[in-house]
Structure 1
């Protein structure tokens, strides 16, 4: 029998260049409240807070006699803390990675492979793909959050091809003509239309750098002087300032721009093209860092793999907003449960200085406090506040005495309940 069932975590922070700067970063603010030794630098980008056991950013236990012990080591010694079903399905490992992201500059145009594809990439190119797990993920907005997700309806892409000659040139005139013809014959969901869309996108991504630079510079100059697709033009200009001459700037004409309000989410399954553009979000995913990139990044780009693996099903921005639901047993809880076994997220909101108990699940949980203060009734006195990160073992509830008018928590867990 293990002694400690609930404890606080000190979490790894990633200072990627695309992160928001200084105190403008939710990541930095939360970490500052969690780690008294952290010295915030006003011009430093703070991009991600990692909560979990991934080897590139493992969490450390920060209270009691376990202080300083990596969470992954404690779980290895106490696998029953995960819950019986999680132990069996995920081989005694925590299956999810919980994050906070603060996005200032856009992240790469990317997608994540299926489990089978991830294993193949790892076997063939372990230097580029260093783990063999899939990476379904969900972004849940803390502030207004902007991203690309999925291919636009084809009629919108066709209109851009007809109205913007620079876009047609980089896609390739033959490819553009085939997409227009396929759409006129069969509409968005015709197989020939999806095939033509793949040829167009591959044509763009494999276009020579000289053509991309010339057409992009010409288009940016026209946008500055004329009314060229105002919304998309404004985003393209922003991407161009961040990544001059990058082929990914033209992605604005292929992908849906999805705007999430706080509390809204989008789920990114395998082979779904996406890129985060701006804002702060909670993110939860399978415990992996497997990414295939092809634009808007200085990192390794694997264009052939990305173009071949993508889902070319057109969609609308609204269709990319993932539905949530109220917990029928607890109206303080909103559940975000995507169609994967690795993770789900609860949003817990408590109003008033009241007693509230976070229910026991047959899964280990990681809880992040976004707002408010409370005292947890555990085997050790535990005061939680904004920035606190708490590990809760399976089958363990967490009684709280709320000490503020508003308490906002997010809880990641494995939904094999």
Structure 2
């Protein structure tokens, strides 16, 4: 077991240091010497990704270098490195409307445009709420999209006669084709036409009684003024809030945007993102529109299951990662026969693995070697909660 010093990303959508869970973990876990109460603290990275590599606290050696020099500390099925990137996020304003490519698409995108797609890996990801966590994710059921668009003539004007709106109410295949045409027409419209439609739509709905969707449209227009096409995303995407402990899994080519709150996030070790709104960064609208699955359903809540006293498992249908929530009544970590990273989000406890003993508190991040088979948890405070990421044997 090693304690780690981990990286922080100060993206401008992050919560300011005074109210950011990321900042609190960074400060209390001594990952930085100083936390600025006014500066945004957006993401806490725990892993070996080159854009934010973790270091062994005792020696300042990169964890990736330790693994390279001592390959026995990861299991054979991990293929010589950590297959996942583990994060904590503190979101104060909307992230971009985005999706992530499949493995095959990532290889092609990286070869074609390595500046904007920095690695050839896919990026399935899972978010587990630490606080109420608001997001847009996945296309709404077809009937909801139909009703929302009927009430938004300014948006339908961008679609023109490219598709009959009633096709959304046809069979699954017809509805998907219609949605792809609608989404592509809106997102591919001329910037001045989008700006005009946003201005007209927002001006009108401000004069009318608000509902959850129009309230969010107005809020996003305030966060991204000037006619950002992402302002229309709530019309088409599920808008919901995860309660603490609830999770969502984001597979390839599923549109989403995190809006507000704090979460633990785990993903394949990649930084590939296809963006298409609510961002000043590079947008690849053509790729996003072409690649989305256009599947329509309700909010995608991902279930957990209890695997032992005080231990819940979140196991998405991908080989790279699974996550456990481990609470005060747990006495041992499960033996996964793989390396893992543990982050303490609240409370204190004592870990013991053979002759190795370690006191942990909020903000501590610990690496378990694959050869560490039995880690006891003792003296846990009532509020002790940690999250553990690992690559499961399949």
Shorter-chain TM band: over 0.9
Report the TM-score when normalising by structure 2: 0.96
Report the TM-score when normalising by structure 1: 0.91
1:26 aligns with 2:21: yes
1:372 aligns with 2:350: no
CA shift at 1:403, angstroms? Answer: 4.3
Do the aligned partners of residues 161 and 374 (structure 1) sit closer, same or farther apart at CA in structure 2, a change above 3 Å counting?
A: closer
Equivalent residue, structure 1, for 2:275 = 293
CA shift at 1:79, angstroms? Answer: 1.5
**Residues in 2 aligned to 1:37 and 1:129: alpha-carbon distance in whole angstroms:** 29
1:68 aligns with 2:60: yes
CA shift at 1:376, angstroms? Answer: 2.2
Q: Show CA shifts across 1:46-75 (max 9, x none).
A: 000000000000001002xxx110000000
Equivalent residue, structure 1, for 2:364 = 388
Q: Which runs of 5+ in 1 are unaligned?
A: 1-5
1:332 aligns with 2:310: yes
**Residues in 2 aligned to 1:101 and 1:295: alpha-carbon distance in whole angstroms:** 20
Asked if 2 retains the 8 angstrom alpha-carbon contact of 1:122 and 1:129, the reply is: yes
CA shift at 1:359, angstroms? Answer: 2.8
Asked if 2 retains the 8 angstrom alpha-carbon contact of 1:360 and 1:395, the reply is: no
1:357 to 310, 332, 335: 332
CA shift at 1:148, angstroms? Answer: 0.9
1:112 aligns with 2:100: yes
**Residues in 2 aligned to 1:217 and 1:60: alpha-carbon distance in whole angstroms:** 48
In the TM superposition, what are the counterparts of 1:303-322 in structure 2 within 5 Å? 303-317=285-299, 320-322=300-302
1:200 aligns with 2:182: yes
Equivalent residue, structure 1, for 2:231 = 249
Equivalent residue, structure 1, for 2:218 = 237
Q: Which runs of 5+ in 2 are unaligned?
A: none
**Residues in 2 aligned to 1:223 and 1:25: alpha-carbon distance in whole angstroms:** 32
2:168 to 161, 164, 183: 183
Asked if 1 retains the 8 angstrom alpha-carbon contact of 2:18 and 2:38, the reply is: no
**Secondary structure, aligned partner of 1:377:** strand
In the TM superposition, what are the counterparts of 1:4-15 in structure 2 within 5 Å? 6-15=1-10
How many residues of Structure 1 are paired with residues of Structure 2 in the alignment?
Answer: 391
CA shift at 1:360, angstroms? Answer: 2.5
1:404 to 365, 381, 392: 381
Do the aligned partners of residues 36 and 9 (structure 1) sit closer, same or farther apart at CA in structure 2, a change above 3 Å counting?
A: closer
RMSD value, Cα: 1.4
CA shift at 1:37, angstroms? Answer: 4.5
4+ long deviations beyond 6 Å = none
**Residues in 1 aligned to 2:339 and 2:31: alpha-carbon distance in whole angstroms:** 26
